[in-house]
Amino acid sequence: MSDADSVTTPPSPPPAKPPWHDLARGRVARPGEWLVEKGIFAVSLTAIVMILLIFVFVGREALPILLGQADSAAARVQRILPPEDVDRMTPSELRAALGLSRRKFAARSLEEQKAALKEIYAVRAEADRNGAEAIPDKDSEVNTVGWRYLIRPHQWTGYSRPEFIWQPVSQIQKFNVVPLLVGSLKVTLVAVLFALPLALGAALYVSQFASRRLRAWIKPAIEMLAGIPSVVLGFFALFVLAAALESVFAFQSRLNAFVAGIALGVAIIPVIFALAEEALSAVPRGYLEGALAVGASRWQAAWGVALPAAWPGVFAAVVLGFGRALGETMIVLMASGNAAILSWSLFDSSRTVTATIAAELGEVVFGGHHYRVLFLLGTLVLAVSFVANLVADGVMNRLRRRLASSS
C-alpha cells in the first residue's frame, strides 16, 4: 500500500511548471512578431494594390468615351432660355443651370443669381448671332469622341478626302488616334529590331563564350545602360544621333521615327539582354558538354543547342522589350519630331501615344473631351505593357521550371 502511494504521490512535488494547455496560446505568444509579419505582408501587397488603383483611376477617366457616353457635339450646342423662364426657375434648377456648388450658390441672393444667369444667356445669344455670320461647319454636328471618329478616317470640312486627323486644339477638335498608334508602332518596331540582334549577341557572348573575369565586366556595363536617365538618352538622340544618322541617310526631317527608334533601342537593350542572358545561362551545362563531346565548336553548341533550348526566354525578352519601348516617353518626345501625321515611312516625323500624353495632358480642360481621350490612350498603353509583362513573366517561369528539371 505504501509502495503504491509513493508512486502516485511523489514525496516532494517539483517546482510548478506551466500546464500543457498553455501551448495553445496561438499568436498571442509573440504579438510583436505577429504584428511585424502582417505589416510586411501588407507592404508586399502595396505593389498589387498600386497596379489595381492605377488601372481603376486611369480607366475611370476614360470610361465615358469607352462606353460611348461622351458627346462633343451636344456640348457645343448651348442652351439659351428667355428671361421669363429664368424668373420661374426653382432654386435647385437655377443652381444646376449655373453649375455652382451649394456653398457658392448660397453666397449670393437668389435675385443676384437669376440676374447672373440672364447675363450669361444674353452673352450666348450675342455670340450665336455673330457665329451665324461665319461659314456654317457641318462638322459641328459631329460627335468627334465617338468610336467611329476615334478610329476611322473622316472627310473633315476643308479636306479633299477622308483622313485620320489628330488635332485636339481647334474649333472642331479631331481625336483620331490612328496616327498616334502608327507612330508608336513604328518607333517601337525600329527599337526592337535594332536592340534584338545587339542584346541577343551580347547575351550569347556573355553566357556562352566570355571568361568569368570578362563576364564580370560586361554584364554590369550593359546593365548600367538601364540606369541612364531616359532624358539623357533623348538628349543624346536629339543632338548626336540625329545629326549622325542624317548625314548617313539624308532624311527629309531630321527628327523622325527612325532616330527615335534607334535611341529607344539603346534604352531597351539592357532589358532584352538581362532576360535573354538569364535564359541562356540557365541552359544546363550538360547540353553544352554533350554538344562539345560530339565535336561541336563553341559556336555550334551555342547557336545550335543553347539558343534553341533558351528560345522561350528570348521570346519573353523581346515581348518585355516591346512593352518597355511602347511605354517609354522621354526619348520619343525628344527625338521623334512629334508630328501627329499618319505615315508608314520610318523617315517621317511621327508622334507616339506616350509622347502625346506627356505633351498635352498638362494643358487640357480637366474632365473635358481631350482629357478623356488622353486617358483612353493611357489606358491602352497601360493595358498593352501590362499584358506584355504578364506574358514575358509567364513564359520565363515555364522555361525556368523546364530547364531546372532537366539540369
Partner 1 sequence: MPTTDLSNPSAATRRSPSGEADAPNHPLIEIERLSLCYGQMRALQNITLNIPERLVTAFIGPSGCGKSTLLRCLNRLNDLVENARIEGTVRIGGCDIYGPGVDVIELRKRVGMVFQKANPFPKSIYENVAYGLRLRGMRARGIVDEIVERSLRSAALWDEVKDRLHASALGLSGGQQQRLCIARAIATRPEILLMDEPASALDPVATSKIEDLILALKQEFTLVMVTHNMQQAARISDYTAFLNQGELIEFNTTSQLFTNPSRRQTEDYVTGRFG
Which residues contact partner 1 by CB under 8 A?
211-212, 284, 286-297, 300, 304-305, 308-309, 406
Least Å from the CB of residue 223 to partner 1: 22
Least Å from the CB of residue 194 to partner 1: 30
- The nearer residue to partner 1, 258 or 287, going by C-beta atoms, is 287
Least Å from the CB of residue 311 to partner 1: 9
- The nearer residue to partner 1, 206 or 233, going by C-beta atoms, is 206
- The nearer residue to partner 1, 180 or 307, going by C-beta atoms, is 307
- The nearer residue to partner 1, 90 or 211, going by C-beta atoms, is 211
- The nearer residue to partner 1, 88 or 213, going by C-beta atoms, is 213
Least Å from the CB of residue 279 to partner 1: 13
Least Å from the CB of residue 308 to partner 1: 7
- The nearer residue to partner 1, 296 or 364, going by C-beta atoms, is 296
Least Å from the CB of residue 286 to partner 1: 3
Least Å from the CB of residue 301 to partner 1: 9
- The nearer residue to partner 1, 11 or 295, going by C-beta atoms, is 295
SS3 per residue for the chain: CHHHHHHHCCCCCCCCCCCHHHHCCHHHHCHHHHHHHHHHHHHHHHHHHHHHHHHHHHHHHHHHHHCCCCCHHHHHCCCCCCHHHHHHCCHHHHHHHHCCCHHHHHCCCHHHHHHHHHHHHHHHHHHHHHHHHCCCCHHHHCCCCCHHHHHCCECCCCCCCCECCEECCCCCCEECCHHHHHHHHHHHHHHHHHHHHHHHHHHHHHHHHCCHHHHHHHHHHHHHHCCCCHHHHHHHHHHHHHHHHHHHHCCCCCCCHHHHHHHHHHHHHHHHHHHHHHHHHCCCHHHHHHHHHCCCCHHHHHHHHHHHHCHHHHHHHHHHHHHHHHHCCHHHHHHCECCCCCCCCCCCCECCHHHHHHHHHHHCCCCCHHHHHHHHHHHHHHHHHHHHHHHHHHHHHHHHHHHHHCC
